[in-house]
């Protein structure tokens, strides 16, 4: 009798604990057929991630009482065309963090996060980092750490940040983020980062800004050299006229070429003294779908040669089959000048020019399903 009573009590306790926690499984599968043109080269491909990067995620919350919750996110990126892991082969390379949050509006988590720069850039992008011609083509997450590998602290630079602590706070229409990244975690402080961002959203208006300052990553600097400080920022805004939502923004990256590992400029490591991009675009709701357009101009300023410039145009149409499933068509192009090394990006496909001055084009039609 006593054993039965104890077992029953333990069972009730377990059921009570389980009732206070939850785990959500979610994801996206995106696949399409596309054509890529890079200079005079042309190829037809089955693409994964033109609209959204395919992913499988787990999000968990446990109620600790008093408005306090434990929370975690594990998010894997994969390629729908062949089933392989994206994000350089890191299994939970999209996000991987754990921490605490409160119903009063704050959270504090540790792990691998989207940075405040990443959040503001997506918010200010009329494509929300989807489709060919979005603002991933600015080089955020690419140019800050071209020598890094998936196992190092600087993989994907200041876009998704390894070894980081992220605090968030929301009060009414204002949300703020502050991040501390520990980079390569060595004695010289390679990759150590501070970044913050603020977004205001009220009625038809949305205004966002973010700034980041970090030391050069170990994979991008001469062995034993002291890392130099680099910085970048983004500002953007949008206004929803109901019939069309207009977005515009500006991004600037100020690198340091001191102590940079030797090498000739290329699309992934242009070795510029300042890089900047401004853009304007729109989202227009249509029957059963939405039309998106974006135009950007990017400039790389060089000390020893003419500035590299590229003009990017993107257009896409989503046709909604349901709340979870849509068909899409996407087109994007980059027209580079003679020294231009501007890349063309969709959500995952990233087309880097194989030579300075190459013009780029990408076309795709596909299907995307949320679950």
Least confident of 15-29, 168-182, 270-284, 322-336: 15-29
- HSE-CB at 142 with a 13 A cutoff on CA atoms is 22
Say yes or no to pLDDT of 328 above 60.
yes
The answer to whether 275 touches 291, Cβ cutoff 8 Å, is: no
Domain ranges of the chain: 24-370
As a whole number of angstroms, the distance between CA 192 and CA 51 comes to 32
Q: Which CATH class is domain 24-370?
A: mainly beta
Q: For 220-246, what is each residue's pLDDT tens digit?
A: 899 889 999 999 999 999 999 999 999
As a whole number of angstroms, the distance between CA 96 and CA 77 comes to 11
C-alpha to C-alpha distances, 154 to 31, 91, 145, 230, nearest whole angstrom: 29, 16, 6, 13
The answer to whether 147 touches 219, Cβ cutoff 8 Å, is: yes
The answer to whether 200 touches 173, Cβ cutoff 8 Å, is: yes
Query: pTM of the predicted model, to two decimals?
Result: 0.91
Say yes or no to pLDDT of 216 above 80.
yes
Q: Which of 179, 66, 63 is nearest to 119 (CA)?
A: 179
Q: For 282-304, what is each residue's pLDDT tens digit?
A: 999 999 999 999 999 999 999 88
């Amino acid at each position: 009798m006593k054993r039965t009573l104890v077992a029953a009590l333990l069972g009730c306790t377990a059921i009570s604990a389980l009732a206070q926690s939850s785990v959500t499984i979610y994801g996206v599968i995106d696949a399409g057929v596309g054509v890529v043109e890079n200079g005079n080269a042309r190829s037809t491909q089955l693409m994964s991630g033109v609209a959204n990067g395919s992913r499988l995620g787990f999000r968990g919350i446990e109620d600790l009482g008093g408005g306090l919750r434990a929370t975690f996110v594990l998010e894997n990126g994969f390629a729908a065309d062949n089933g392989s892991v994206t994000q350089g082969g890191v299994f939970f390379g999209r996000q991987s963090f754990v921490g605490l949050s409160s119903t009063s509006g704050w959270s504090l988590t540790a792990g691998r996060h989207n940075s405040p720069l990443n959040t503001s850039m997506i918010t200010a992008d009329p494509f929300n980092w989807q489709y060919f011609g979005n603002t991933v083509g600015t080089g955020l997450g690419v140019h800050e750490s071209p020598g890094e590998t998936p196992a190092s602290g600087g993989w994907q630079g200041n876009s998704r940040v390894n070894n980081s602590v992220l605090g968030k706070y929301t009060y009414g229409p204002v949300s703020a983020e502050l991040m501390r990244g520990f980079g390569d975690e060595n004695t010289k402080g390679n990759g150590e980062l501070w970044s913050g961002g603020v977004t205001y959203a009220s009625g038809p208006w949305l205004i966002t800004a973010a700034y980041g300052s970090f030391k050069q990553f170990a994979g991008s600097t001469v062995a034993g050299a002291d890392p130099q400080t680099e910085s970048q920022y983004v500002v953007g805004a949008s206004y929803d006229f109901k019939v069309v939502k207009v977005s515009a923004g500006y991004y600037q990256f100020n690198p340091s070429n001191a102590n940079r590992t030797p090498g000739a400029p290329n699309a992934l490591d242009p070795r510029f003294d300042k890089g900047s991009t401004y853009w304007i675009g729109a989202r227009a709701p249509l029957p059963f779908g939405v039309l998106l357009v974006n135009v950007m101009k990017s400039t790389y300023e060089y000390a020893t040669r003419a500035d590299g410039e590229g003009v990017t145009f993107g257009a896409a149409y989503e046709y909604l089959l349901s709340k979870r499933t849509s068909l899409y068509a996407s087109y994007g192009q980059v027209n580079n000048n003679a020294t231009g090394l501007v890349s063309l990006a969709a959500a995952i496909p990233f087309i880097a020019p194989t030579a300075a001055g190459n013009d780029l084009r990408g076309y795709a039609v596909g299907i995307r399903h949320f679950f």
